[in-house]
Amino acid sequence: MSTVEEAAGDEEKAWGEVTPEAARRLLVAAVEAFAERGYHATTTRDIASRAGMSPAALYIHYKTKEELLHRISRVGHDRALEILETAADGEGTAAERLAQAVRTFVRWHAGRYSTARIVQYELDALEPDHRAEIMALRRRSDAAVRRIIDDGVRTGEFDVPDVSGTTLAVLSLCIDVARWFRSEGPRTPDEVGELYAGLVLRMVSAQKR
């Protein structure tokens, strides 16, 4: 249970941009509830009760449970895209940018694994319009990583026989951190990020230059 509580502590800070405070409190409660029992097993009543509010008070901020999921998914995917595009469009060699993309993307999945699991596992529960919007963000995230790998292949820094397959594998490796990472485990999010950056540079056969 302590991991859920710790994660919730991080969540409070992480959702700082959401206002008013009651709307933020409800999002944090929804992240906790979805993480513990899954989206389908959670009711809006559960979420309101966790936030110390009435169902009617929840309804002022979110009309449906799906609206809460969509909000969590949207904020999470916006952040993922920001991380990957910042790395892709940054300074440095392709190897430096790929390492930076992996480091920051892994840190996010490790540091906020409750949110990340919901973001990654509950896509099928989104309504069609929301799902389409989120899938478009995911394609842009994939494209950012692919752009770095393409750059490295073009400059001869990387040797990658299957660029789309390798892009998929790099993102998959980072995303799965949300499944296995525990804050009480032996490695910090920074350490996992560093380990994974090194492994990914091997996957693309990056040459030291």
Binding residues vs a second copy (CB under 8 A): 37-41, 120-121, 161-162, 165-166, 168-169, 172-173, 175-177, 179-180, 187, 192, 195-196, 198-199, 202-203, 205
Instruction: Provide the residue count of the chain.
Output: 209
CA torsion sign, 197 to 9 to 42 to 126?
A: negative
The H or E element spanning position 51 is none
CB of 21 to a second copy, least distance (A): 29
Chain-centroid distance, C-alpha 72? 10
Nearer to a second copy, 110 or 144 (CB): 110
Q: Report how far apart, in Å, the C-alpha atoms of 149 and of each of 89, 94, 155 are.
A: 12, 7, 10
CB of 185 to a second copy, least distance (A): 10
Nearer to a second copy, 25 or 201 (CB): 201
CB of 175 to a second copy, least distance (A): 6
CB of 150 to a second copy, least distance (A): 17
Q: Which residue has the tokens 């906020």?
A: 112
Nearer to a second copy, 22 or 173 (CB): 173
Q: Token pair for residue 31? A: 């992240």
Nearer to a second copy, 22 or 203 (CB): 203
Q: Token pair for residue 53? A: 């509010």
